[in-house]
């Protein structure tokens, strides 16, 4: 496919992807799944603060977009596992850099939040 996408164009479908992967829960789910395959309860336990409803919605959205795979095992009790697809694995290192940057700069970010407004600095 040789279509040119432009995230700055208001009508570009790439914006929907950015919105979907840019929310805090999607980022945390993708990063957690980059470590291993998880079941729903394990994800809920390990991702502090996420409600079952939001986790379900986020997993469904990420599956529809092709970032994660949901596998059902029909045993005595249905078992469902989630893992990253190749597409999800390609995104995980980028999100890891973002969360690493956030953790490294939290002192500055917290101080900045105490000011009435942010100051711009030259790159």
Whole-number Cα distances in Å, 111 to 103, 107, 108, 114: 14, 6, 5, 5
What are the backbone dihedrals phi and psi of residue 45, each rounded to the nearest 5 degrees, phi first? -65, -40
Q: What is the pLDDT of residues 87-116, one digit of tens each?
A: 999 999 999 999 999 889 888 877 766 654
Q: CATH number of the domain at 14-114, please?
A: 1.10.10.10
Residue with tokens 């690493």: 100
Burial (0-12, 13-18, 19+ Cβ within 10 Å), 62: buried
Distance, CA of 59 to CA of 53 (rounded, Å): 10
Distance, CA of 114 to CA of 109 (rounded, Å): 9
The full length of the chain comes to 123
State the pTM of this model: 0.83
pLDDT over 90 (residue 3)? no
Using pLDDT thresholds of 50, 70 and 90, give the confidence band for residue 33. very high
């Amino acid at each position: 496919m040789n279509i040119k996408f432009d995230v700055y164009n208001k009508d570009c479908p790439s914006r929907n992807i950015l919105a979907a992967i840019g929310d805090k829960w999607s980022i945390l789910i993708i990063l957690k799944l980059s470590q291993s395959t998880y079941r729903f309860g394990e994800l809920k336990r390990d991702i502090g603060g996420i409600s079952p409803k939001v986790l379900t919605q986020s997993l469904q959205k990420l599956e529809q977009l092709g970032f994660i795979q949901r596998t059902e095992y029909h045993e005595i009790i249905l078992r469902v596992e989630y893992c990253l697809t190749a597409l999800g694995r390609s995104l995980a290192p980028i999100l890891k850099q973002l969360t690493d940057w956030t953790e490294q700069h939290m002192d500055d970010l917290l101080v900045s939040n105490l000011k009435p407004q942010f100051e711009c600095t030259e790159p």
